[in-house]
A and B are shown apart, each in its own frame.
Chain A
Amino acid sequence: MNAVLDIRDLHVQYRGAPPVRAVDGVDLRVGSGETVALVGESGCGKSTTVRSILRLLSPTASITGGGVYLGEQELTGMKEKQLRRVRWRDVSFIPQQALNSLDPVYRVEAQIVEVLRAHGTMTRREARARTAELFRLVGIGSDRLKSYPHELSGGMRQRVVIAMALALHPKLVIADEATTALDVITQRRILTEVRAMQRELGFGMLYVSHDIGVVAQISDRIAVMYAGKIVEDGPAASVLGTPSHPYTMALKYACPDVRQRRPVVSISGYPPSLAEPPIGCRFANRCPFATTKCVAEAPPLLAVGGDWRVACHYTERAHEFREQASRVELWERDTEIGPSVKTAAI
């Protein structure tokens, strides 16, 4: 499958003394028609990664290495003027809070018309017709075209931003926690509809979230990010069904499951400082399976089968870890090295 988006060894830093290495060597691929979920907790660098694609970083952040390839084009080295043409036309964005993302003083129709006319040669009439079409596509009545953002319900607003995101038939749509602000029912409905639209229109989607349960229903592949690095990246069924990285396991069991009655796991401790990242595995201080090797040496992201990669020294013992991972007590221990594997030979 040809890649719509190919992020290679991306490094992004935030200004500081010392600088904060928010994204430290990230590889990510999204194929056309494919939905890849980028999952991780707050502060792991997923938003930064995604903002780097279109260079929408804050002024204190800068890309210090690697490349972002959109098909043939390389985006990090592109001139700003060229990049503006890429924005929205090739890569669009579905933000989290539609109310804050829509300009309050303009009607919703006008905001879509604006992007249509900014990137093409449509007349106003043509643009309005196209907007009406888009509203039909996402399921909003045409009586809402002239509304202001604050006059619409949350779900309807989200449909507006989805319609806006699809307006120019982009090759890639980035959804940044796009449904977090909605109630669960609306969330599910919108996610299913977006998936259907994807099958129809063929765009690739990068779905960023901290909620592994939400991404389970829509993703083809899942990439798990922790402290600026990808720790596991593979087909959704594999990553969710048989997670091979301790962090992924924790995420899975941290998610409440209505069917299996089990208590929810919560990992004690905090991610390491990215201003002075540890030389070893970044998850070591919170991992119950960590050994002294983990602390001393950073595990590379290696394939464990097909296009499934994991960054752990002990992937061959993953099934063992999985058995224990659902136990809440395992994660509550406050030590650097878990006693159950301390004796493992290095």
Chain B
Amino acid sequence: MNAASSVGGQRASIRGSQIAARSLGLVRRNPLPTTGAVILTTYIVAALAAPVIAPYKPNQMILDSRTGVVERLQSPSWHHFFGTTDIGQDVFSQTVYGARVALIVGLTSALIVTIVGGLVGLVAGYYGGHVDGILMRAADVAYSIPFEPFAILVVGMFHRGLSDIVFAIALVMWRAPGRVVRAQTLSLAQRPFVKAARVAGVSGPRIILRHLAPNVMPFIGLYAAVTVGWAVVAEATISFLGFGDSTHISWGVMLQTAFATGAVNEALWWTIAPGLATAIFVASVFLLARGLEHDATAAPVT
């Protein structure tokens, strides 16, 4: 690598830390996004430390130590904080382990969607012309696909569980960040520092990576957060409808079992725990996204 690119590399890393610092500083200053971040961190910690926090395994059928009878449909108690299911599983443990599935689906989907959406937006916005036309037509098609039915169809026909859900999300949800990043790129491409780089003979991909990408990071971050929310709700929905992956007990699978066994009305704890866990998780992610939204309107980093 020659001197110029290594300097450029240093500058990129400085810009990277600037972005990180600004994002962190912003979260600290605003109470709502900070609450979101705190709640989300709790979930992450719970997911990582699940074996430590959860008193039982999620699939474990718990037997009463004295009578040897399965502890089915027990209401919340000191032994079972959130009660038990119809086959004696501990709802609290299931909820804690469910955070793992939520985070995996959420983060994977967010990663793919933001990479695809970000790239599409940057390329379309920078190159314009036919490339832009084709990519935006593709976005139009994605906007015409009703997401939930599409995900249901894909999962229902391919039967591959969680990866199907992520696939469906990736195929459709890049549309929103794609359009927003494109709009931002279009305006950025007019700025002096980009024109200067062009004149200096810097290649397109390099301009995109070094100059444009860092400046659209706030938008990408925003959609990353929001996609986590969408993905978790999508997974819960698909699982609830019966197409989920029952080997990994997610919040959606819990709700599906509760609904299917008709225990919804009696075992309120079983119905409320996973649903509330999902709602609070998604809410925290949306709160975090709102904080990043402010940063998305700040001045560009050169």
- The answer to whether any beta carbons of A and B sit under 8 Å apart in the complex is no
Q: Which residues of A contact B (CB under 8 A)?
A: none
Q: Which residues of B contact A (CB under 8 A)?
A: none
